[in-house]
Amino acid sequence: MRFCLVGLLVILQGCGNLADVTKDWSVDKIYQEAKDELNNGGYDKAIGLFEKLETRAIGTPLGQQAQIEKAFAQYKTGAPAEAIATLDRFMRLHPASPLVDYALYLRGLVNFNGDLGFLSGFTGQNLDDRDQKASKESYATFAELTRRFPNSKYTPDAKLRMAYILNTLAAYEVHVARYYASRGAHLAAVNRAQLALSDYPNSPMSEEALAILITAYNALGSTQLRDDTKRVMNLNFPKNNLGLMSSGNPTQKP
Domains and CATH numbers, the chain: 25-94 (1.25.40), 99-254 (1.25.40.10)
Condensed to tens digits (0 to 9), the pLDDT of residues 77-130 reads: 999 999 999 999 999 999 999 999 999 999 999 999 655 544 444 443 443 334
In Å, what is the CA distance from 197 to each residue of 122, 189, 210?
A: 21, 12, 8
Tell me the percentage of the chain whose pLDDT exceeds 90.
Answer: 70
Q: Identify the three-state secondary structure at position 248.
A: strand
The per-residue pLDDT for 131 is 55
Question: Rg of the chain over CA atoms, in angstroms?
Answer: 26
Q: Cβ atoms within 10 A of the Cβ of 154, count?
A: 18
The per-residue pLDDT for 6 is 46
d(CA 124, CA 114) in angstroms, rounded, equals 21
Give mean pLDDT, residues 209-228.
96
Q: Contact, 177 vs 192, CB < 8 A? A: yes
Whether the per-residue pLDDT at 254 is higher than 60: the answer is: no
Give mean pLDDT, residues 192-220.
94
The conformational region for residue 47 under phi > 0 = left, psi -120 to 50 = alpha, else beta, is alpha
Give mean pLDDT, residues 11-36.
76
pTM listed for this prediction: 0.76
The per-residue pLDDT for 251 is 38
Whether the per-residue pLDDT at 137 is higher than 70: the answer is: yes
User: Higher model confidence: residue 36 or residue 125?
Assistant: 36
The per-residue pLDDT for 250 is 39
User: Higher model confidence: residue 187 or residue 24?
Assistant: 187
The per-residue pLDDT for 242 is 52
pLDDT band at 134 (very low <50, low <70, confident <90, very high): confident
Whether the per-residue pLDDT at 4 is higher than 90: the answer is: no
For 190-197, the CB contacts below 8 A with 24+ separation are: 190/216, 190/217, 190/220, 196/170
The per-residue pLDDT for 121 is 47
Q: Cβ atoms within 10 A of the Cβ of 111, count?
A: 20
